[in-house]
A and B are shown apart, each in its own frame.
Chain A
Amino acid sequence: MSNIATGRPGRFAILANPTRFLELSGKVQPWVYGAAIAFVLAGLGLGFLAPEDYQQGATVRIMFIHVPFAWLCMMIWTVMAVSALGTLVWRHPLADVSIKAAAPIGAVFTVLALLTGSIWGRPMWGTWWVWDARLTSVFVLFIMYLGLIALTRALDEPGKAARPAAILVLVGWVNIPIIKFSVDWWNTLHQPASVIRADGPSMPPEFLTPLLLSAAGFTLLFFALHLTAIRTEILRRRVEALSKLAARKAERSDAGVAS
């Protein structure tokens, strides 16, 4: 791969300079957190003002967090899949940092999707858990998040884990359409899609508006946390590189004193 500089660097090339990335992201960061909190509060506030569902009663309020969490656990893996392409195809220096930073956040939202779903399922289905297609495929996603977290933190030299992690993310991405369409392909206890469907959402605006606000808010919250985690990871790698440098210098000066 030749590395000849072309006329104008693209948007991603500018972000490839970690120092520039730290500068830009530092300015953007507080606004993303602010917007995330505003959207989440608006969504959940409207959600509690919404009337109760005629079938599900007040438990419909769990939807305003459960659905955004479930959406996020799929979106975060997809963000990591794009980052994996960044590692394998474009050799973007921040792509594997992005994967490592996103994995724990994705794992937390996956746990919450499973947990809130289980708490909702108990009064509505009469059971905390069933091994049906939707629940099982999300559980598999959770296990894959854990595997990825272990892999990205297993090796001392972070660059060495970049390629295997990217491959795991891309191979694991096949699970995402399986999760999405599991409710159509198999007979499940879980209800079918009611927001993203070919003939439009099948939900009254009293429920749809707070749900979309809350989903937008938690999505922004993910990007804010992801940004912070990427910045921290860049700093961590600088600390490691500098500590090694300092150790080498100390060794050399020790040797100098001895001889």
Chain B
Amino acid sequence: MSGAYTGFILAAYGFSALAIGGLGLWTYLDARAQRRALADLDARGIRRRSDGSARSDTQKGAASR
């Protein structure tokens, strides 16, 4: 691939790869941070009453609030 337009094509693909790569990285890091925070709480003995046993009414929908 060579020609007068190579720079434009590379710029378009380059910016796109950078932006989507950044989006993917941010999504991954955010997911990891929340998983760790939950594991940390769990290690301190703080967990949802519904985990393991039957769900209680007060905990219902806690995740959506």
Contact = CB atoms under 8 A, between A and B. Distances in A.
Interface string A19-62: 10000000000000000000000000000100000000111011
Given A57-B3, A58-B6, A225-B24, A116 B15 contact: yes
A243 to B, nearest CB: 7
B43 interface: no
Secondary structure at chain B's binding surface: helix, strand, loop or mixed? Answer: helix
Contacts of A241: 62-63, 65
A245 interface: yes
A213 B30 CA distance: 29
B41 A112 contact: no
A18 B15 contact: no
A232 to B, nearest CB: 4
Interface stretch (A4-12, A118-126, A137-145): A118-126
B54 interface: no
Contacts of B15: 112, 115-116, 119
B12 A239 contact: no
Given A116-B15, A120-B8, A242-B48, A93 B61 contact: yes
B20 to A, nearest CB: 7
Interface of B: 1, 3-6, 8-9, 11-13, 15-16, 19-20, 22-24, 27-28, 30-31, 34-35, 37-38, 41, 44, 46-48, 50, 61-65
14 contacts: A57-B5, A58-B5, A59-B8, A61-B13, A65-B13, A65-B16, A66-B12, A93-B64, A105-B23, A119-B15, A159-B64, A229-B27, A237-B65, A238-B48
Given A158-B65, A228-B31, 17 more contacts: A18-B64, A57-B4, A58-B1, A61-B9, A62-B9, A96-B64, A104-B23, A231-B31, A232-B31, A232-B34, A235-B31, A237-B62, A238-B62, A239-B38, A241-B62, A241-B65, A242-B48
